[in-house]
Chains A and B, each alone.
Chain A
Amino acid sequence: MPQNAAAAASAAPDDNREKEPQVKPPPAGTDQEADSPPPQISGTIMFGLCGLFFLLLFPATAWAAGKDITHAALLDALALTASRMVVSLTMALLCAFPLAALAQRKTATGLSLRTALNYVARIPATGFLPIAALTLTSLSQHAIHHPATIITALTLSLLLPLTESLCNGLNAVPPDLKAVARQIGLSSWQRFWRLNVPCSMASLTRSIVQHVPMGWFLLLWAEIISHPESNGGLGPFMLRAVANMNIPMIVFALLGMLLMIVCCEYLLFRPLLFWSSHFQPLKKGAGHELRTPAIFRRFLLIQLLHEWLSPLLLGLANLPFGRRPTARQAEPNTPHSHTLTVHITRLLCLILALALPIWWLATGALNAADCAALLTGALVTLLRCALVLILTTAIWLPVATAIGLNRSFSARFIPAARMLAAFPTSLLFPLAALAIRSQPVPIQISISPMLILNTQWIIAFALIRAAGRFPSNLLTAARAMQVRGWLWWRVVMLPGLASSATKSIGTAFAETCGVAIAAEYLIDGQLPLSAGGIGSLIAAAIRNGNLPHAITGVLVMTAFLITIDRFLWRRLRDWSERRFGRTI
């Protein structure tokens, strides 16, 4: 959830950087098709990957968890947490390709998969923990406390945005290149790997940069909430250090995490962004906004990818799978909307989402009072998030505008702030719990900063970028006409920021609700602190291993988020885009 912000700042300079939650249907055109491997191949690959995933899960979870609070135990915990991230990211990446290839097909399967993915993508990242537990209950009775669950949840939460960005990239393939690829006789398999995948590489790497910080947040929180005694990792280490008030170790743990973030940034993200800028079709120099020191550029990834991986991938991409192109009938100007397929998929999603709670109601695992509590809790949380966001926007608006208009300062500010934004605040929550206990303000109010600590950066970076992009000739004109004060804000700056602001506030709202699951229920080794709201209900249910409660809570929250997005954010976005989004 939160650290969209980190990437929002990394930012290739195009406008669609804000999280665009829709997996868009392929555009209609004269001669376009979803160039992808045949469904059998995609399906087989998908199946094989799932097998591989479970094979990998076991070594990754068999890691013995240390119980001490020593430097060695800290290193061990760091390594364990990092390895969980590596396994999850790798699996998510590998699964995203076949999934995107399937979703991109223009058949009914592709369409219903896209529709379903659009809904699943709305589930807050933290909500994937109980869902992963449900899918793994067959493996273990107490799946929710098993380390495999954490990895599965992380994989799922990364898989969806990566698939989404791949799909969006696949849609942006220039029609002329498609025509060339067909005309020179590349087969469907070759077209997928040599044209479609490279075209979406830039959007995929941006999505990785954007969502890995969110992954850290989820990972550390999941380690703390699920079963810290047996699971190990940096989260439980922090919890132990806080419980024992071992200040040096707390500091070391925070520094360790910071080091990990910085390493990620310099050894992985920046080289990746630099490398993927080669794939930006028809755009020069995109993605170069963050300077990458030459040593990192040459050193790790580029060298590795070019000299070792490239021939291997090229060989794979050139395999003679798939059909050679033939002349195809033109597609209709306006595509058939397949409304029936969409409706059936929606209905199925609804039935699936309702089936579990109804089953639990019937078997007594859930009762009407629980449901009522969840609904009122959801209202409380939504209201809380909305208030906090309004306040944050009001504070950041003048600050971000000032920073954005001062280009030399913002160039120095953004890279530093990126590190701050990428830091998973869930690691700070045990400390926050300590602080909240020691002061008189009621917890319902004092947790508010926790909600916004990460998500504020989404808004901040969006506003800074929008202010930085504001046409300087308009500013000059305003100065020449001596437009000042409130008039300046009303006529000059606010309309200029409106389109970015509405987009980023919408994204930040969904993310903040996800953070609420972690922030409304704080754990520091003593009795958990609960701030009320649906977040605390879900988190408490997860901690107690009460899957029916947790999953119903996540479903309720997702339903609210989808509704609010549909009726508020989307309309607001469309309106501000139409009214203020024009470039001159």
Chain B
Amino acid sequence: MIDAEYQDSDELLRLTNIGQSYASGNSSPDSLVLDDINLTLHTGEIVGLIGRSGSGKSSLMRIMGGVLKPTTGQVTLRGKALTGPGSEIGMVFQSFALFPWLSALENVTLPLEARNMPRNQREERARAVTGLLGLSGYDNAWPHELSPGLAQRVGLARALVTQPDVLLMDEPFASLDVLAAENLRTDLVELWSERQLPCHGVLLVTHSIEEAVLMCDRIVVLSSNPGRIEHELHVPFTHPRDRESAEFRQFVDDIYSLMTRRAPIVSEAILPEEHVPATTRGTPPLPPVAVEGMMGLIEALAASPLDGRADLPLLAGKALMELDDLFPLAEALQLLELAELEDGDIILTREGGRFANSGTEERRAILRHALRQGLPLIREICSTLDERPSHTTSAATFREMLQEDMSADYAAQTLQTLVNWARYAGLFDYDEDNDKLFLDDSAL
């Protein structure tokens, strides 16, 4: 289906110096989501974007889809500036984003209807695509009647019905169960290899390293807060790929190592020095990491087959965890200096080992020390509470402090996580009704 005239001009989509920031509204500096992204998608390749939450993947997707205008930089499609959405780009969403009141076929024909194509013509084109994706019998099905796998096929058909140049897929398999995802991946790769997919290049956003290595020709690794291109790798395998082969495993391992280099991701997340107030420096946005999770990981690491050191991909496979679930845990331990990340491995520190072998009270003491040591914000909160005669302080102050280098949502989340850690350690407590932090009496 690839047009002959474009065979020679290789470049499809080009991003030049793309930056994206969201104004915070008040006087605090804008939060930077994407920083200086340069990326080119060529005809005939599948490019994978790997990044974690906070790497601005969704914003980047919307910029490439022509829906969002970047704060800085330029997007060109076949050399022409991209100013808005058009039929040259198709988008697939993690949530499928099907219109619930339209049947499967109506969903697929909608992009053509928006361009006022006559009914029989658009249905003919839609049927060609749905046939290709194995949806032939489902024309009249409502989206809520479809299994997630089929629903995503409808989403895919809708993106492909305009015969776009570029297909953008935002975590398309993340909402599917393991088998359905594998099935759709295989079908997609097969159609792509046979050049049956009516598009010229694919961009796949994912958080699964294995999925990226399985499908893509090139992998771009994004850092988070703000999103920057950290690495670009060429995948040296041909389709179909054998995910059990030693080379494949090694490649996946290498990417894990890249993402856990000793130069931690945390340090890149920090804005230039002068922007960061001394109090919150070093407090990255914290996902809701529970203390039990951290303790479980430490105990698992300390136990006998691992003995304090484990390969992250192996650990993820064993614990049936996704990268997005394992990394925050590991990073939290790193932040508290209970563990270290190095070349795709997680290593328990001396303090971490002591934690594993202690009773509850001792653990609380270790965590208390680790929190004060690793998080300047905790030190700040504790000293404020000590100074005040009432031993209480408004939580909003610290939330605002955090908000200076992250969005309001992240700030609220981060403080909530800190409160939960501090509660375990017995450092301070939080009164939700009055939004106040207060000194826990038992800790006095």
Contact = CB atoms under 8 A, between A and B. Distances in A.
A273 interface: no
A14 interface: no
Interface stretch (B6-14, B83-91, B259-267, B361-369): B83-91
B435 to A, nearest CB: 10
A408 interface: no
A141 interface: no
B85 A185 contact: yes
Given A179-B93, A282-B100, A326-B83, A333 B23 contact: yes
Nearest to A326: B84
A106 to B, nearest CB: 14
Given A31-B62, A333-B23, A182 B114 contact: no
Interface stretch (A86-94, A161-169, A317-325): A317-325
Contact of B84 (A201, A324, A579): A324
Contacts of A284: 144
B68 A328 contact: yes
A183 B71 contact: no
Given A179-B62, A320-B116, A327-B82, A281 B97 contact: no
Interface of A is mostly: loop
Contact of B24 (A186, A201, A332): A332
B327 interface: no
Interface string B302-334: 000000000000000000000000000000000
Contacts of A279: 100-101
A335 interface: yes
Contacts of B85: 182-185, 325-327
B90 to A, nearest CB: 8
Contacts of A179: 62, 65, 67, 91, 93, 97
Interface size class of B (residues with CB under 8 A): 35 or more
Contacts of A487: none
B84 A325 contact: yes
B97 A177 contact: yes
A329 interface: yes
Nearest to B95: A176
Contacts of A186: 110, 114
A187 interface: yes
A306 B108 CA distance: 20
A183 B91 contact: yes
Contacts of A324: 84
A198 B22 contact: no
A332 B66 contact: no
A524 to B, nearest CB: 50
A330 B71 contact: yes
A412 interface: no
Interface in A288-342: 318, 320, 324-336
Contacts of A320: 116
B100 A185 contact: no
Contacts of B31: 333
A335 B84 contact: no
B25 A280 contact: no
A195 B22 contact: no
Given A30-B59, A332-B22, A579 B68 contact: no
A108 interface: no
Contacts of B89: 183
Interface string B101-127: 100000000110111100000000000
B439 to A, nearest CB: 23
Contacts of B24: 332-334
Interface in B24-63: 24-26, 31, 59, 62-63
Nearest to B142: A278
A174 interface: yes
B100 A278 contact: yes
A185 B68 contact: no
B399 interface: no
A568 interface: no
B25 A335 contact: yes
Given A320-B116, A327-B83, A334-B24, A183 B65 contact: yes
Nearest to A337: B25
Contacts of B248: none
A91 B432 CA distance: 47
A318 B116 contact: yes
B25 A336 contact: yes
Contacts of A174: 95, 97
B99 interface: yes
Contact of A278 (B101, B114, B116, B162): B101
B118 to A, nearest CB: 12
B433 interface: yes
Given A30-B68, A184-B158, A333-B31, A281 B100 contact: yes
A31 B67 contact: yes
B206 interface: no
Contacts of A176: 93, 95, 97
A174 B98 CA distance: 11
A333 B59 CA distance: 13
B152 interface: no
B25 A334 contact: yes
Contacts of A327: 63, 66-69, 82-85
A186 B408 CA distance: 32
A210 interface: no
B20 interface: yes
Contacts of B95: 174, 176
Contact of B114 (A190, A332, A336, A579): A190
Nearest to A575: B433
A239 to B, nearest CB: 46
30 contacts: A31-B67, A31-B68, A174-B95, A176-B93, A176-B95, A176-B97, A179-B65, A180-B97, A182-B85, A183-B89, A185-B85, A185-B87, A185-B114, A195-B99, A201-B101, A284-B144, A318-B116, A320-B116, A325-B84, A325-B85, A327-B69, A327-B82, A328-B67, A329-B69, A329-B71, A330-B59, A330-B69, A333-B25, A333-B408, A335-B25
Interface of B: 20-26, 31, 59, 62-63, 65-69, 71, 82-87, 89, 91, 93, 95, 97, 99-101, 110-111, 113-116, 142, 144, 158, 162, 407-408, 432-433
Interface of A: 30-31, 174, 176-177, 179-180, 182-187, 190, 194-195, 198, 201, 278-282, 284, 318, 320, 324-336, 578-579
The 4 closest A-B pairs by CB, nearest first: A334-B25, A326-B84, A332-B23, A184-B111
